[in-house]
Structure 1
Amino acid sequence: MIKKFDKKDEEAGSGSNPFQHLEKSAVLQEARIFNETPINPRRCLHILTKIIYLLNQGEHFGTTEATEAFFAMTRLFQSNDQTLRRMCYLTIKEMANISEDVIIVTSSLTKDMTGKEDVYRGPAIRALCRITDTTMLQAIERYMKQAIVDKVPSVSSSALVSSLHMVKMSYDVVKRWVNEAQEAASSDNIMVQYHALGLLYHLRKNDRLAVSKMLNKFTKSGLKSPFAYCMLIRIASKLLEETEGGPLFDFIESCLRNKHEMVVYEAASAIVHMPNCTARELAPAVSVLQLFCSSPKAALRYAAVRTLNKVAMKHPSAVTACNLDLENLITDSNRSIATLAITTLLKTGSESSVDRLMKQISSFVSEISDEFKVVVVQAISALCQKYPRKHSVMMNFLSNMLRDDGGFEYKRAIVDCIISIIEDNPESKETGLAHLCEFIEDCEHTVLATKILHLLGKEGPRTPSPSKYIRFIFNRVVLESEAVRAAAVSALAKFGAQNDDLLPSVLVLMQRCMMDSDDEVRDRATFYMNVLQQKQKALNAAYIFNGLSVSIPGLEKSLHQYTLEPSEKPFDMKTVPLATAPITEQKTGTDKLPEKLAPSRQDIYQEQLAAIPEFQALGPLFKSSEPVQLTEAETEYVVRCIKHTFVGHMVFQFDCTNTLNDQLLQRVLVQMEPSEAYEVVQHVAAQSLPYSQPGSCYTLVRLPEDDPTAVSCTFSCAMKYLVRDCDPNTGEPDDDGYDDEYVLEDLEVTVADHIQKVLKPNFSAAWEEVGDEFEKEETFALASRRPRRAGACATRAGRRRNHAGDREKCG
C-alpha cells in the first residue's frame, strides 16, 4: 500500500511491484527515522508499509531486531496524522508475536480506545486485543463491554470481532459479555448484528439446547441483517444434520421468500445440500434457483447454475424442469455460466438430446479455460455411463478435444474418459485405442504417454489386429524420453508374450532396444528378451503379465533397510508384505497426482508393529483385519480389536479408550483364553490410559504348527488394569490404586483372517500359470443362479511355499 501524492509518483509506478527488491536490513536501517524529531508522517508511513510487506512475504525477523523496530515505532504515537496512526495499529498486530514487551503500547492503545476520535477507536480495539493475553484481559474487560454496545457501528463491530478471536484463549471471561452481545444483536446496523450473532453462537455452540433457544428467538423476532440471516440458516442446517426438526426446516424454507437475494440463495443452497432431502423438500429450492437463472446479474446466474449442477448429480429428475432455462444459458456471454449450464444439461437431458448438446458444446469449448473444459469432460464421462450407445459420438468429440491445446490436467481428464469408455464398452476398444495412439504421437506429458502405453500393452494384444499397434509403440522407443521408452519396451513384451505370430518381430525390436543409451531401457529389453525366448506361459505370466504383488512402499522400506545393513545374503522378496488393494484406474481428472505413493493401511500397521521389540522377529505382516468392537459404544471402557496375521503368529491389537473422567488406568492388557490349540505367548501392556485418550495394548499368539487346518478359534477376553482415582477437574491421580478387570465380548479368528487378495492384473495368464497338474474338472447343475466369478487368493499356507491349488470348472 503506497499513498501517492502527486502525478510524478503515479508515473514512477509503471505497473510493477515497487517492493520486489526490498532487503530487510536496509528497511530496518531506515526505521531509525522513527526516532527523529519532528516526525515526518509521509516517510514513516512508507517505511511501515515496507515492514508489513516483508512480514506478509514470510521474511523472518529476529526477536531483537523486531523489538528494536517495534519500540522505535511506538514513538510515532506522538504524531496526530490519522493515516500514520492507523498504519501503526496494523504494524502492532503484525509484530505482536515476534517482538518482546509489546504491552508497552497498552496505555497508548487504551487511550485511543476510550478517546473521542472514532476513527482511532475501532482499530485501537483490534490492536489491543491482539497483544492482550489471558492475564491482562480482565483489566480491559470494562472497556470491551462498553465498546460492544457503543453507538458507533465501527467501534461495536471491532469489539465484537475481537471478542470472537479471544473466545479461543479466554472463553470464561468472554462468556461474561453475553448480555452486551445480545444487546448488540438488536442493533439496526447490519454488520453489528451479524458480528453479535456470530459471537453469541460461538459462546453457545457446545450447548445444543442454548443454540436451539437462540435460533428460536431470532427466527421469531426477525433480523435486519442479511448476513445474520445467512448465518442463522447455516446454524439451522447444522442442527438439521444431527436431528430432524420441522420448525428448523420451515424457517429455512421461509427464507426462500426473503427480500435479500443472498438470503434466498443461502436458503436454497442449504436445502439442496441436506442429506436425505426428498423431492418435495427440494422442489421450492429448485424453483428459486430456476428464477435466478434468468437474473440480469451474472453472479446470481452463476451461483444458480453451479448449484443446479450439484443437484443434478444426485437428483437429475428434480432439475429437468429447469432444462429450458439452462438451454438459454448456453449462449450466455459469460463462458463459465455457459459451461456449467451445458454440463448440467448433459446430466439431466435425454438420450435423444445428446447429439444436439454435443454440437452446442463444440461451438464454444475452445473459448473456455482448462478448468471448465475438465468439467465438460467429466460430464461427458458420466453421460457415457448413462447412455453407452452414444459412445461413438462422445469418442469423436473427445478425440477432437485431444488435438486442441491444453494443460496436463485437461489432457489427463480426456485420456481417463476415453479409457473409461473403452473399459465399459468393448465395441469401442479399437476406436479408442486408435485415438490414443494418435495422441501419443505428439504427447508432451510423460505420465500420460506411459499410461497409454500400459493400456496398449494390456488391451492391444487382445484386439483382432494387434500388429497395427506395434508401430506406434516402437516409435516411442525411437523418439521419446527414457521413461516413455522403458514403458514402450514393457508394452512390446506383452504383445510378444500373448501373440505367437508377432513373437519373432517383437524379438527383433527387443534386440534393437538392447542398444539403447538408457540403462533402464536396456535392462528391460534384455530381461524380456530372455523371458520371451523361453516360450513358457508360466514365465510370461509371472514376469510379463503379472508384476510384483507386493506393497511398493513396503518394498521401498525393505530395500532401504537392506542397504543400511550390509549382508552377503541376497535380498529376500518374501520379507516384503503383500499389496492389499487392487490397482484401479482413475476415471475422473479432478484428483491431483500424488507426489509420492502413499503407504497403505497395512504398510502403516507393519511399521507400527516393527517398532515394538517383541514383534520384530515375526517377519512380514500378511494381513490386518478390520476393527472388531468388543464393547458397546456407551460403556465406560470402549475396546476394539485389530487382528494382525503373520506366518506363524497372530498379534491382537486392542485399541482402548477410557470414558471415565475420574479414573486413570495403568498397565492395561487384555487376557485371552483360546478354545483351540492356539498358544498365548506374550502381552504388551498400555502403560497409561488417561480419560478420553486412546491407547493400545497387544497380545501375541502362536498359531498351531502341528495342525495347519486349525484356522478357526474363539477367544474369551478380559481387560485387566490398575485403577487410580483422580480429580475430574485437574486430572491429578491418587497415590494408591487397585487392580480390576473388565470382561469383553468373545473374539473369533476365522478362515478370512488367513486369506489375502493377490494382485493379478492378467487373471487368464495367472490361471494358466497354475498348470494342468492342479486342475480338476467336474460338472455341476447350477439351477437358475449364475456362477460367481473366480477370485485369486493367497493363503497363509501359500506364504509357506505351498503353492498348490485346486481349479474347478463349472459347466
Structure 2
Amino acid sequence: MYKRDKKDEEESYGNPFAKVDKTSVLQEARVFNETPVNPRKCSLILTKILYLINNGQQLSTLEATDAFFNMTKLFQSKDTTLRRLVYIGIKELSKVAENVYVVTSSLTNDMNAKDDQCRPAALRALCQITDGTTFQGIERYMKQAIVDRNSAVSSAALVSSIHLARTIPDGVKRWANEAQEALNSDNVMVQSHALGLLYHIRKSDRLAVTKLVTKLIRSSLKSPYAICMLIRIAAKLIEEEGSGSDSPYFDFIESCLRNKAEMVVYEAANAIINLRCTSPRELNSAISVLQLMLSSSKPTIRFAAVRTLNKIAMNHPNAVMACNVDLENLITDSNRSIATLAITTLLKTGNETSVERLMKQIASFMSEISDEFKIVVVGATRALCAKFPRKHTVMMSFLSSMLHEEGGYDYKKSIVETIISIIEDNPDAKEAGLAHLCEFIEDCEHTTLAVKILHLLGREGTKTAQPAKYIRYIYNRLILEKSPVRAAAVSSLAKFAAHCEDLLPQILILLERSTLDTDDEVRDRATYYLNILQAKQRSVLSTYISNSLQVSIIGLEKALHGYLQSAAIDPDSALSSFDIKTVPLSTGPQFASESSEHKILNGGQKAANQGTGPTANQAMEKISATRQDLYSEQLASIPKISSLQLGPILKSSLPVELTESETEYVVQCIKHVFKDHVVLQFDCTNTLNDQILENVTVSMEVPDGFTVKAVVPAEQLAYNVPRSIYIALEIDPDLPDYSLLSANFSSVTLKYTVKDCDPNTSQILDDEGYPDEYVLEDLELAVADYMQRVSTPDFPVAWDEMGEENELDETYALSNFKTLEEAIKNLITYMGMQVCDRTDRVPDGKTAHTVYLSGIFRGEIEVLVRAKLAANMDGVTMKLSVRSPVPDVTEYIVSAIA
C-alpha cells in the first residue's frame, strides 16, 4: 500500500483556495463558454467564485453580470454536481448582477424535470430572482411544488414562499389552500414549513391566527418541529392577549411538557419561563422538566437545560435551588460550556453554608477552562459576595489565587475590578482586599491594572488602621516599574502624606529621590507634590491632593484647544491665564457593553485572548464622551443657540416625560443649565402614521426672572421620526433672590400645523393643513437642575474648612417615607448632589444614619450637606445642615427642601 509522506499529509490539510485571486478567477470563468463543457474544471472555477463571495470579496455590477452570463452557459451540461453549483451561483450573483431574469425559463424547466436532486435547488434559485414583475409566471409552478409528493421539493417550495412573502405578501396569500394541504403531510419538515407559511400569511390578522392555533392545538401534529413553532405562536398570543395561565393556549403549552420529543419538552419549558404572567406553580413545573434534562446523555440537551436554569436564576434564584445537586454533578462535565453555566447558576442559587464547598469545587476546575469562561465565573462570584458579605474572606482568597494563575489582560482586569467592588461594598473586606491587590502588583505584567491598584491604595489605604504597611509596596513600584506606574506611585504616596502626618517625613524623602527620575512625568509629579506637602497647609493639601480634578477630559481638551486658537489669533488674549472653571465637570462616561455571561447564554462564544500582555488599545482605557459633551456638540450645531455664546453646560437633566408614552404625540424635555441661561430641549415624536406636523413649537408661561432669548421650532414631525424643539432662556443677572431660580413653567402647549398624509408612502394629501395644539404637563426647575455632582474624598476636612459661620440647620418630618433607604434615595435625587464616603448605604438593622453630600451650585459655589436621619413610627425625621461660602445659597437650599 502506498503510504503518504508526513509532510505531504500536513500540506493537504491547508486551504486550497487561500491564494485565490479575484481577477484571475473571473478570467478563468471564460472556460464556461467552451463546448463541450468540462464539468470537473468548471465546478472547480465556480467553487472558487463562491469561495470569494462568501469570504467578503466584493464584485462590481459589471464583474458579477459577466460571471453570471458566463455561468448560464453551463445549463447545457447534465452533470448533477455542476448543475447544483450553478443554482448556488445564481442565488449569490443575482444580488449584484443585472438582467438575471433571463434564466427564469431554464430554472422553470429544471424545477419541473424528473431529476429529484436538482428540483429543490432549482426552485430555491428561481424564487431568489423572482420579483413582482415575474411573479405571475411562476405562481402555477409554485402551487404545484408546495403539494408535490417529493418532500424535499415541497419543503423547498414552502421555505421559498416564506421568503417571497416578505416582498410579495399579497401574491403568496393566494397559496394558503396549498399550504393547508401541505400541513397534513406525513413528513415532519414539510409539516413544520407549512405551518410557518400559514402563520406568515395570517400573522397580520389576529383572528385568523387565533383560529389557526385553536384548530391545531386540538389536533395531533406529528412533527416535533411544527409543535415547537406552534408553542411559540401560542406563547405570543398569550402575551398579546394578557390572558395568563387561564388561557387554553397555556394549557396546551403545559401539556407539551409531557411530549415524547425532547425538543418539544424544552420548547414548552422555555416558553413558560419567558411568559411574564407565569406564576411560581407553573414555573416549578417547567423547572422540574429542566432538572430531568440535566442528567441527559446528550450534551445539547444538558446545555439547553442548564442555560435556561441560569436565566431563571437571575430573577428567581430560590426556585432553582431544588436543582443544585444535579448542577453540582455538572461541574465536572466534559463540555466546558455546560460546566461553566452550572457553576454560575450555583453561585446565584447557593446558600451561605455551601459557599466554601462550592469555592473548592470551582477552584479545581478553573485551570481547565478558557479566559472567557473564567470571566463569567468571576462575575458570578462578585454577585455571590454581594449576596453573602460575611463570606468575603473565602471569596477573596479564591479570587486572589486566580490572580496568580496564568491568564490574559481581560481576565485579570475582571478579577481586580471584582475585588475593588467588594472593597467598596463591604468595609470589613477592605484590608484583606488591599493586601491581595498589593501582592498582585508585585509581579503584575499589566501597566493599566498596576496604575488602577495604586490609585485605589491612595484612596482607600489612607483610611485603614495601619496605612504605613502599604508604603513598601508603593515604593517598590517606584524602583522596579515602567514610567506610568512610577508616576501613579508618586501620586499615591502624596495622598498618604496628605492624610497621615506621621508618614510625611519618610514620604518626603522618597519623593525627593523621584525628582531625579529619568522620566519627566515622574519628576514633575514628584516636584509638584513636594512643594505642596512642604507647605503643610491643610486647605492646600485638600484642594490639590485629596480632591482630584473632576472635569470632562474631552471638554478639557476642547477648552484648551480653543484657548490656544484664540491666543494664536489674538496674542493679547494669551496674557489672561486659562480658567479651569470654563471646563464642564465630568458626569461619567456612557459605556455600552455586553457581559461575557450574556454572550455565553446566547451561544456566542469567542476565542479568549491567551496573550500575557494587553494590546495598545487594551492598555489605554478608552475615554468616552459624557452626556454634557454630546449635548454641547448638539447645541453648538444650532446657529440660533450658538450665537448666544452660552459657555459650557453646567448640568443636563435626565429626560422629563411631559406626556404619557401611549399618546399620539410623545414629548420629553431635557433641561440644559448654563451659568446665566437655561436651554429647554423638547424631544418630540409623532406616533400617528396618517399625519405630518409642520412648524412645531412649544409655548408656555415664563415666570419672573427668566426671559426668552431664542426659539428653534421643528420644521416637520413625520411618523416615528424624533425631532427637537429648543427654547433658550436668560436668567435675570440682577435676580434679587436665589429662590426665584426654582421656577414652574405652566400652560406648556405643543403648537403645530396638521397635514394629512398617506399612511404607506407618507405623501402629504392636504397641502394647506390646519393649526392645532396639544397640552403638555407643566415643567419645573428645581435645586437639582443647578447642582453639579462633585465628589469630596475627605468630607470631614472639607466640612471643617467651610466653617460653622456658613452653616444653617433645619429639622424636617418626612412622613411620606417609612424607611431610611427610601428617604435617602429621594433626598439625593431632589438635591442632585454627590454622595460622599458611600454614606447612602444604611447598615442592616440601623434606625439612624448620617449622609454626606457635596456639589457645585451654578458652576462656582461649593455646597456641602450633612443629613442626619432617624426612622420612627411616624416616618423619618431629618436634621439637615448646609454649608456654603455664600449665605444666600445656603438659605435657598434649606428653604427649597421645606
In structure 2, the residue matched to 1:682 is 710
Q: After the TM superposition, which residues 363-762 of structure 1 pair with which residues of structure 2 at under 5 Å, given as runs? A: 363-561=364-562, 566-567=568-569, 568-569=573-574, 570-581=577-588, 596-616=622-642, 617-633=645-661, 635-707=663-735, 708-711=738-741, 712-734=743-765, 736-737=767-768, 739-752=770-783, 754-760=785-791, 762=793
In structure 1, the residue matched to 2:855 is 793
CA distance in 2, matches of 1:537, 1:597: 32
Counterpart contact for 2:754–2:772, Cα < 8 Å: no
CA distance in 2, matches of 1:219, 1:650: 61
- CA offset digits 1:407-448 (Å, max 9, x no partner): 223222322222233223323322221111111122222332
Range moving further from structure 2, 133-142 or 776-785: 776-785
Gaps of 5+ in 1: 1-5
CA distance in 2, matches of 1:230, 1:761: 57
CA distance in 1, matches of 2:174, 2:542: 74
CA distance in 2, matches of 1:777, 1:701: 31
Residue 769 (structure 1) shift: 7.8
Cα 1:750–1:780, aligned 2, differ >3 Å: closer, same or farther?
A: closer
In structure 2, the residue matched to 1:3 is none
Residue 263 (structure 1) shift: 1.0
Residue 80 (structure 1) shift: 0.7
Partner of 1:549: helix, strand, or coil? coil
Amino acid at match of 1:573: I
Amino acid at match of 2:14: S
Range moving further from structure 2, 675-684 or 261-270: 675-684
Amino acid at match of 1:288: V
Cα 1:779–1:74, aligned 2, differ >3 Å: closer, same or farther?
A: closer
Counterpart contact for 1:272–1:282, Cα < 8 Å: yes
Range moving further from structure 2, 146-155 or 743-752: 743-752
Is 1:319 the counterpart of 2:349? The answer is no
Residue 553 (structure 1) shift: 3.5
CA distance in 2, matches of 1:725, 1:302: 54
- CA offset digits 1:580-625 (Å, max 9, x no partner): 34999x9987699897333333433222211111111122222223
Residue 661 (structure 1) shift: 4.1
CA distance in 2, matches of 1:342, 1:429: 26
- CA offset digits 1:720-752 (Å, max 9, x no partner): 323334444543335652552314135232323
Query: Quick one: which of 155, 158, 174 aligns to 2:156?
Result: 158
Counterpart contact for 1:416–1:588, Cα < 8 Å: no
CA distance in 2, matches of 1:261, 1:577: 59
Range moving further from structure 2, 300-309 or 35-44: 300-309
Counterpart contact for 2:650–2:859, Cα < 8 Å: no
Amino acid at match of 2:296: S
Amino acid at match of 2:622: K
- CA offset digits 1:489-544 (Å, max 9, x no partner): 32222122212222233233333333444443333333333333333333333332
Amino acid at match of 2:755: R
Residue 282 (structure 1) shift: 1.0
CA distance in 2, matches of 1:377, 1:663: 52
Cα 1:679–1:106, aligned 2, differ >3 Å: closer, same or farther?
A: same
CA distance in 1, matches of 2:797, 2:151: 75
- CA offset digits 1:447-479 (Å, max 9, x no partner): 322221221111111222222222222322333
Cα 1:140–1:294, aligned 2, differ >3 Å: closer, same or farther?
A: same
Q: After the TM superposition, which residues 210-225 of structure 1 pair with which residues of structure 2 at under 5 Å, given as runs? A: 210-225=208-223
Q: After the TM superposition, which residues 99-498 of structure 1 pair with which residues of structure 2 at under 5 Å, given as runs? A: 99-242=97-240, 243-245=242-244, 246-275=247-276, 277-498=278-499
In structure 2, the residue matched to 1:96 is 94
CA distance in 2, matches of 1:53, 1:155: 26
CA distance in 1, matches of 2:195, 2:111: 23
CA distance in 1, matches of 2:662, 2:321: 46
Cα 1:289–1:797, aligned 2, differ >3 Å: closer, same or farther?
A: closer
Amino acid at match of 1:203: I
Residue 335 (structure 1) shift: 4.4
Range moving further from structure 2, 769-778 or 711-720: 769-778
- CA offset digits 1:242-281 (Å, max 9, x no partner): 4233222222211111110011112112222333533211
- CA offset digits 1:530-569 (Å, max 9, x no partner): 3333333333333323223223333344445556664544
Residue 806 (structure 1) shift: 5.0
CA distance in 1, matches of 2:149, 2:560: 71
CA distance in 2, matches of 1:800, 1:434: 36
Residue 631 (structure 1) shift: 3.8
Residue 152 (structure 1) shift: 1.5
Residue 10 (structure 1) shift: 9.2
Cα 1:536–1:739, aligned 2, differ >3 Å: closer, same or farther?
A: farther
Range moving further from structure 2, 108-117 or 170-179: 170-179
CA RMSD, 1 decimal: 3.3
Cα 1:420–1:658, aligned 2, differ >3 Å: closer, same or farther?
A: closer
Partner of 2:428: helix, strand, or coil? helix
- CA offset digits 1:134-181 (Å, max 9, x no partner): 332233222222222222121122222222223332223223333322
CA distance in 2, matches of 1:188, 1:572: 81
Counterpart contact for 1:672–1:716, Cα < 8 Å: yes
- TM-score under structure 1 length normalisation: 0.91
Counterpart contact for 2:748–2:779, Cα < 8 Å: no
Residue 397 (structure 1) shift: 2.0
Cα 1:463–1:523, aligned 2, differ >3 Å: closer, same or farther?
A: same
Partner of 2:506: helix, strand, or coil? helix
Counterpart contact for 1:89–1:124, Cα < 8 Å: yes
Range moving further from structure 2, 212-221 or 744-753: 744-753
CA distance in 2, matches of 1:547, 1:298: 53
In structure 2, the residue matched to 1:30 is 28
Range moving further from structure 2, 719-728 or 184-193: 719-728
Cα 1:271–1:723, aligned 2, differ >3 Å: closer, same or farther?
A: closer
CA distance in 1, matches of 2:116, 2:339: 48
CA distance in 1, matches of 2:800, 2:45: 76
CA distance in 2, matches of 1:127, 1:582: 49
Counterpart contact for 2:659–2:777, Cα < 8 Å: no
In structure 1, the residue matched to 2:82 is 84
CA distance in 2, matches of 1:238, 1:197: 15
CA distance in 1, matches of 2:406, 2:43: 48
Is 1:771 the counterpart of 2:769? The answer is no
Range moving further from structure 2, 632-641 or 468-477: 632-641
Range moving further from structure 2, 448-457 or 273-282: 273-282
Counterpart contact for 2:581–2:860, Cα < 8 Å: no
Aligned residues: 804
Counterpart contact for 1:538–1:768, Cα < 8 Å: no
Partner of 1:367: helix, strand, or coil? coil
Residue 300 (structure 1) shift: 1.9
Amino acid at match of 2:749: A
CA distance in 1, matches of 2:662, 2:90: 49
Amino acid at match of 2:857: T
CA distance in 2, matches of 1:315, 1:52: 49
Counterpart contact for 1:166–1:174, Cα < 8 Å: yes
Partner of 1:118: helix, strand, or coil? coil
Cα 1:11–1:751, aligned 2, differ >3 Å: closer, same or farther?
A: closer
Residue 21 (structure 1) shift: 1.7
Cα 1:111–1:517, aligned 2, differ >3 Å: closer, same or farther?
A: farther
CA distance in 2, matches of 1:398, 1:113: 63
CA distance in 1, matches of 2:488, 2:598: 23
